[in-house]
Homo-oligomer: A and B are copies of this chain.
Amino acid sequence: MDQKTEITADDTSQGRIRQENIERIMKAAEHVFAANGFRGATTAAIAKEAGLPKANIHYYFGTKAKLYRAVLDDILVLWLSSFREIGENDDPATTLADYIRAKMQLSQNRPNASKVFANELIRGAPRINSYLESELKDWVEEKAAILDHWIEEGRMAPVDSKRLIFHIWAMTQTWADFEVQWAAVLGRKKKLKAEDFDAATDFIVSMVLRTCGLQPIPPRS
């Protein structure tokens, strides 16, 4: 009668079958939500991609909205955990480069996560506004303060630290969200090659470090 098993994404308490199926469903859901947005995605499409009857996904997640939330929560955890700890005593150049590389690998390895997040933002982020206004805002302010500290110590050139972070995000995320566009312009067949991601990573690192006066500008020919 009462199906109050209270399913959460990280329910490790019991059930091998449960874990396997939840994983399978969420992977399929991430893909379908990425490709169609929340409203455009159908539970039938998710079920088909997961290779399960539709009723089965409702058994585990109840409603489409709850499944979406679970996918979204998974992504937010991934997002925040990807941000390596930055300390005031670290080297500015290597810290920035490492961070860009980490974000870029996320774009390459988890493009659907990035797309679901992008979809949510485009829609006005109705479900994650509190996350943006709290965790994310705090994270940015904390990291920006460290950059400002470095600037004050003369360890890098003065830049608008918050906006630097914003644009690093913009540049790294574009390679996941708009992959088809860059693939088409570069003459690739739908998918980018690994070397495209490498070249983009190097470019962004170079651009950011030059902006911060941490890498010399090559002389004009």
Residues of chain A having any CB pair with chain B under 8 Å:
34-41, 115, 118-119, 121-125, 129, 132-133, 136-137, 140, 151-152, 154-158, 160, 162-164, 166-167, 169-171, 173-174, 177-178, 180-182, 184-187, 190, 199-200, 203-204, 206-207, 210-211, 213, 217-221
Is there contact, CB below 8 Å, between B204 and A157? Answer: no
Residue from the list B118, B133, B187, B220 in contact with A184, Cβ < 8 A: B133
Specify which of B140, B163, B211, B221 is in contact with A151 (CB 8 Å cutoff). Answer: B221
CA distance A121 to B182 in the complex (A): 10
- The complex places the Cα of A155 from the Cα of B128 at a distance, in Å, of 46
Q: Which residues of B are found within 8 Å of A207, using beta-carbon distances? A: 167, 207, 211
13 contacts between A and B (CB under 8 A): A35-B122, A118-B122, A118-B178, A122-B178, A124-B180, A132-B180, A133-B184, A157-B219, A158-B221, A166-B174, A167-B203, A169-B174, A170-B174
The answer for the CA separation of A123 and B137 in the assembled complex, in Å, is: 28
* Chain copies in the assembled complex: 2
Nearest to A119 among chain B residues (CB) is B122
Q: Is the CB of B34 within 8 A of A122?
A: yes
Please judge, given known A-B contacts A37-B119, A118-B178, A170-B174, whether A186 and B157 are in contact too, CB under 8 Å: no
* Cβ-defined contact, B180 with A220, below 8 A: no
Q: How far is the CA of A150 from the CA of B213 in the complex (A)?
A: 23
Q: Which of B37, B158, B162, B217 contacts A213 (CB 8 A)?
A: B217
* A185 B36 Cβ-Cβ under 8 A: no
Closest to A133 in B: B184
